[in-house]
Amino acid sequence: MSDERFPGWHGTTILAVRRGAEVVVAGDGQVSVGQTVMKATARKVRRLSPGGRDVVVGFAGSTADAFTLLERLEKKLESAPGQLQRACVELAKDWRTDKYLRNLEAMLIVTDGAQLYVVTGAGDVLEPEHDVAAIGSGGNYALAAARALMDGDLDAEAIARRAMAIAAEICVYTNGNLTVERIGA
């Protein structure tokens, strides 16, 4: 994050890869403030189960802000069971228009295995192209690596792990301590 309220604050790397009927979401474990690694084993990929239906969410940005958004998303999913797109759109609308929420500094990748979205505080609910999505400070490195690996025979988890390893070698705000959640298939 480059906001003056968070000097030197940097995000993380979250990557989602869809291969066939399976989606894998991977997130690194590094939390950095300025040039200091505050924690190396954070868990930034979570499984929600509103109404008994699994949804996997990865977040980049402020942890407290992300947890606030996760709680809101879970409520949206409970009020619209089985309608992930609707829940994400409603969250994005609230995030953009609510006086409190609009100041939250985070981004989300959300999937139920069938649908995959990137949700932002700017009101965006984006379906990624090429079955790959990435957010965070190392997101572009992981995205490029994963897209290149999609041409091969690797499964979704192998692509995600290799792409995250590449991102960790390039981005100083990304490490190799991964949390990986698989959904679908």
Active site residue 68: no
171 is annotated as contributing to ligand binding: yes
Spot the catalytic one: 12, 63, 111, 120: 12
* Token pair 């301590």: residue: 177
The answer to whether 168 is a known ligand-binding residue is yes
- Among 19, 66, 37, 18, residue whose Cα is nearest residue 177: 37
C-alpha distances (whole Å) from 2 to each of 6, 7, 26, 78, 104 are 7, 7, 24, 34, 13
CA distance 62 to 11: 8
Residues of each annotated binding site for Na(+): 168, 171, 174
Residues designated catalytic: 12
Residues of each annotated binding site: 168, 171, 174
